[in-house]
Chains A and B, each alone.
Chain A
Amino acid sequence: MDWTWFHRLASPPYIYGLARRLVPWFAWPSALLIVAASVWGLGIAPADYQQGDGFRIIYVHAPTAWLSLLVYVTMGVAAGVGLIWRMKVAHALAASAAPIGASFTLCALITGSIWGGPMWGTYWEWDPRITFELLQLFLYLGYMALRASIDDTQRADRTSAVLAVVGVVNVPIVHFSVIWWNSLHQAPSVMKLGQWAMPVSMYGPMFVMLGGFTLLFLALTLTRLQAEVLARERAASWIRDAVGTNLKAVNT
């Protein structure tokens, strides 16, 4: 198999240019999907039998939770690739993803809490999924703190990469915790025993929102990745072409 595409990805100027070109292709569709899903979920989808209109929170809560895990997996894989193949760009990707993941994890926890209050009678419960999701937040924060505490970029990269890889173990725990333990957090709502647990009219907005969020994550990460790559390539000559010394040309 021809691996040149993989090695080309390791080149900072190539990645910078690629990310730059890709961002709008992810950003605009993502905005479209999120808006469409919101309208669909808030206005058009029918109300739930038990929870009434309150269940609509799921259309923001589930995607943020999905993102909190997806981002960490991306971070972990990127960190692993960076460790094994010694790719600076992979480490830069992990560093870019972390703050995004942390913010959406916090958002998932809070929206979950807001949903839990009226629906299940409690704003917080130390049930396994919620507790491990909180742990997920600590993992993100720990990663970012570790990075910040080491001055040398390369060492910071590699040290935090080890942490990121070790932390991936929490992702399946969060995911399967609702199956392993019977507690407050609801059982998997999308698929149960291989059958759709929600009618089509209800899970439609969910999938559109998930798609929109995923594209959003890509757009955000690639934006931050450009910034990371620039910051690391202090004096490389390709920067002149990328950024331009012409002070009049200021387009991000």
Chain B
Amino acid sequence: MTPPLQAARLVLSRDLKLAFRKSGQVIQPLVFFAIVTTLFPLGISPQLSQLRDVAPGALWVAALLSSLLALEFLFRDDAHDGTLEQYALSGQSLMWLLLAKTAAHWLLTGLPLAVMGPLAALALGAPVAAVPAVVESVTIGSIALSLIGSIGAALTLGVRRSGALQSMLTLPFSMPVLIFGARATELAIKGENYSAPLYLLGAMAVLGITLAPLAAAAAVRVSLE
């Protein structure tokens, strides 16, 4: 039988290939992110000096929501056409396969977010010096968000129109990521050392990598019963 790592790699490349055919699916959350970011200056004030104060929070709320939106397509297609079932029945470790799917999903949604994040931060008045912090925190934070989100997505597999329910389940667990991501951005904007919240984000990402696939696999198996 194929060793788990190789099977995981196959699933990863499959998901990436499929995603390139359905590029709309990948671009939508990013456009959503841009639009939400724009809402803040419209709703609060166009003055950069005022926006700078809310920039960390606004940036991260937008990132959180767009990541939530993107999670809808993590398992959806594979659940519909029975591929997920095949994964579960294949005798391979479902945990590894789901980790691979989540990794592919992150490459398609989280990583682009880490690229767009600095642009959004600058647009909201953050100084250029804060850009590395934004890139680092969004990269790590989005890993954690994708993993946490995979649990919520797996739990709501069998539920029709599960968008709101999935958000309701995922957001509470995503709150710590928001807290520390915003904190890191805030410290960076002030020019202070932001390593503490960054480490905590890293810890959450690591926790996610180890535990989320376990929970997601359990949830997927239950949904497929």
A→B interface (CB under 8 Å):
83, 131, 135, 138-139, 141-142, 145-146, 149-150, 154-155, 158-159, 161-163, 165-167, 170
Contacts and interface: CB of A to CB of B under 8 A. Distances in A.
Given A138-B172, A162-B155, A162-B215, A146 B222 contact: no
Pairs A-B, 5 closest by C-beta atoms: A158-B222, A138-B172, A162-B219, A142-B169, A149-B159
A131 B155 CA distance: 24
A163 B168 CA distance: 12
B175 interface: yes
6 contacts: A131-B175, A138-B171, A138-B172, A145-B165, A159-B219, A162-B222
B225 interface: yes
B38 interface: no
B131 interface: no
A154 B225 CA distance: 9
B92 interface: no
B156 A146 contact: yes
A135 B159 contact: no
A145 B166 CA distance: 10
A80 B172 CA distance: 21
Contacts of B173: 166-167
Q: Which of under 10, 10 to 19, 20 to 34, or 35 or more describes the interface residues of B?
A: 10 to 19
Interface of B: 151, 155-156, 158-159, 162, 165, 168-169, 171-173, 175, 215, 218-219, 222-223, 225
A144 to B, nearest CB: 11
Contacts of B168: 138, 141-142, 145
A166 B87 CA distance: 23
Q: Which of A163, A167, A170 has the most CB of B within 10 A?
A: A163
A4 to B, nearest CB: 29
Contacts of B156: 146, 149
Contacts of B171: 138
Nearest to A158: B222
B162 A149 contact: yes
A113 to B, nearest CB: 19
Given A142-B169, A159-B155, A135 B175 contact: yes
A163 B169 contact: yes
B205 to A, nearest CB: 15
A139 B175 CA distance: 12
Given A83-B218, A155-B158, A159-B219, A166 B151 contact: yes
A140 to B, nearest CB: 10
Given A155-B158, A159-B158, A162-B219, 9 more contacts: A146-B159, A146-B169, A149-B165, A150-B159, A154-B225, A155-B223, A159-B223, A162-B218, A166-B215
A131 B180 CA distance: 14
Contacts of A158: 222, 225
A4 B172 CA distance: 39
A170 B155 CA distance: 18
A158 B219 CA distance: 8
A161 B219 CA distance: 9
- Residue among A139, A141, A158, A165 with max Cβ neighbours from chain B (10 Å): A158
Nearest to B161: A149
A146 B219 CA distance: 12
Contacts of B169: 142, 145-146, 163
Contacts of A139: 172
B159 A155 contact: no
From B165, B171, B222, name the one whose CB has the most chain A CB atoms within 10 angstroms: B222
A146 B175 contact: no
Contacts of B175: 131, 135
B155 A146 contact: yes
A156 to B, nearest CB: 10
Contacts of B158: 150, 155, 159
B126 to A, nearest CB: 22
A115 B33 CA distance: 40
Contacts of B218: 83, 162
B30 to A, nearest CB: 27
Contacts of B155: 146, 159, 162-163
A147 to B, nearest CB: 11
A154 B224 CA distance: 12
